[in-house]
Amino acid sequence: MEATGKKHIQYKVVGVIIIKKVYPTLFAYLLALIIIFYFSVNSLIDSAMKTTFPNLQFISSLIIMKVLIWVVGISVKKYISKIANGNKKIELQLKVSFILGSVIAIFCILVLT
């Protein structure tokens, strides 16, 4: 019975250590999303105000924004699967953390623009 208790305690400690290692990555993810969204939205607004619409700047801004967000999403998915290493509980915690980071980034963009 004690061995099971110790194993459970070790699991919790490992989970906390993994989550603490994720904070810098989560912050970098949040910063990257804010930068990508900020410049993309500003470029889209700027291109929409020109006399001809849709123009090349608008279309290229949309394409670049989609590609960058896709690359970030694939990277985060690979990162989560690498860190979680098959552990569903840690994977769920990481997914929730990155989703909250995405929501915070969107709110920051709404305030900045």
Task: Write out the residue range of the structural domain in which residue 58 sits.
Answer: 2-112
For 36, 64, 92, the CA distances from 86, given in Å and listed in that order, are 30, 33, 11
Q: How confident is the model at residue 20 (pLDDT cuts 50, 70, 90)?
A: low
Residue 93 has what pLDDT? Answer: 86
For residues 113 and 42, give the distance between their C-alpha atoms in angstroms, rounded to a whole number.
8
* Higher pLDDT pick, 52 / 21: 52
Q: What is the mean pLDDT of the chain?
A: 82
The number of distinct structural domains making up the chain is: 1
Query: Is the distance from CB of 90 to CB of 11 less than 8 angstroms?
Result: no
Q: How confident is the model at residue 17 (pLDDT cuts 50, 70, 90)?
A: low
Crossing angle (nearest 10°) for helices 2-48 and 88-112: 30
pTM > 0.75: yes or no: no
Residue 18 has what pLDDT? Answer: 55
